A and B are shown apart, each in its own frame.
Chain A
Amino acid sequence: GQNIDQPTEMTATEGAIVQINCTYQTSGFNGLFWYQQHAGEAPTFLSYNVLDGLEEKGRFSSFLSRSKGYSYLLLKELQMKDSASYLCAVRGNAGNNRKLIWGLGTSLAVNP
């Protein structure tokens, strides 16, 4: 079957670095997404990886290894506002009309 695994909860300290892992098993691969969702709000797009390697965008970076079915989201210089749920999502086969397979999300708590 198709599955995405990510840790349920993580805690970190303000100013630190945290890495949120995501492993996936899907029928085909056409891109991996990370979204941020604050409590009571809608998910918002953070990053997209379709080729192996690291994509950096300010304090946030995302890494992909297609051969290992693995990605991580790296958050640097953590701020209190980074406390949120981080959702990993994978687009499988090219013919699946843009449907995504979603992980359950990692709830990150940033402590002072």
Chain B
Amino acid sequence: DAGITQSPRYKITETGRQVTLMCHQTWSHSYMFWYRQDLGHGLRLIYYSAAADITDKGEVPDGYVVSRSKTENFPLTLESATRSQTSVYFCASSESSGANVLTFGAGSRLTVL
């Protein structure tokens, strides 16, 4: 299916475990982003990528790792999950020209116990 898909949609894990959230887009958009959304904070950028093998930190990168070996995939890894990383995570993509409108995936709700 065309679009941007995230998996898993829901995940419960324990403190200290490694978790990877997957993001896949079929538009060949250059830019991809990872946001987290928490009450009282709105959307906060974790990492973004301008192209394959090019990534950069956003506002809240600590505790997260990303990679982008292929244009269509942008996985987000929590190397050692903490309770403060309980959140809803959104992946998004955009073209590299024009208004650069973000299109979001459906989100991944992560609970760290």
If A42-B90, A42-B104, A98-B48 touch, whether A31 touches B99 (CB-CB below 8 Å) is yes
Interface residues of B in 40-92 (CB under 8 A from A): 40-45, 48, 50, 56, 58, 90
* Residues of chain A within 8 A of B42, CB atoms compared: 87, 102-105
Output the least CB separation between A62 and chain B (Å). Answer: 12
How many chain A residues touch B (CB < 8 A): the figure is 21
B18 interface contact, C-beta 8 A:
no
For the residues of B in contact with A, the DSSP-based class is: strand
Interface residues of B (CB under 8 A from A): 31, 40-45, 48, 50, 56, 58, 90, 94, 99-107
Are B43 and A97 touching (Cβ within 8 A)?
no
If A97-B50, A97-B56, A102-B43 touch, whether A43 touches B104 (CB-CB below 8 Å) is yes
* Residues of chain B within 8 A of A31, CB atoms compared: 99-100
* Residues of chain A within 8 A of B100, CB atoms compared: 31, 91, 98
Output the least CB separation between A96 and chain B (Å). Answer: 10
Per-residue CB proximity of A62-94 to B under 8 Å, as 1/0?
Answer: 000000000000000000000000010101000
Interface residues of A in 48-64 (CB under 8 A from B): 48, 50
* Residues of chain B within 8 A of A24, CB atoms compared: none
Apart from A33-B101, A45-B103, 18 more pairs, CB < 8 Å: A31-B99, A42-B105, A42-B106, A42-B107, A44-B104, A45-B101, A50-B99, A87-B42, A97-B50, A97-B56, A98-B31, A98-B50, A98-B100, A99-B48, A100-B102, A102-B42, A104-B42, A105-B42
